[in-house]
Amino acid sequence: MEIAQIVGLGLIATIFLLIIRQENPVMAVVLSLAFSAVIFLFLADKISTVVGVVTELSHQAEANYFFMGTVLKILGVAYLAEFGAAICRDAGEASVAKKVEFGAKIIIAVLALPIMIAILESLMEILPG
Does residue 100 have a pLDDT over 90? yes
49-83 pLDDT, tens per residue?
Answer: 988 888 888 888 777 777 888 988 999 999 999 98
In a domain, 28, yes or no: no
Q: Is the pLDDT of residue 129 over 80?
A: no
Which domain covers residue 124, as residue numbers?
64-129
Report, as an integer, the average pLDDT of 38-53.
88
Q: What is the mean pLDDT of residues 77-98?
A: 92
CA-based angle 65:110:88, to the nearest 5? 105
Torsion angle, alpha carbons of 50, 81, 73, 108, to 10: 140
Q: Is residue 10 part of a domain?
A: no
pLDDT at 99: 97
Question: Does a structural domain hold residue 74?
Answer: yes
Q: Is residue 54 part of a domain?
A: no
pLDDT at residue 108 tops 90: yes
Supply the pTM of this predicted model.
0.76
Is residue 43 situated within a structural domain?
no
Residues 6+ apart with CB under 8 A from 59: 65
Within a domain: 56 = no
User: 37 in a domain, yes or no?
Assistant: no
Q: How many domains does the chain have?
A: 1
Question: Is 111 domain-assigned?
Answer: yes
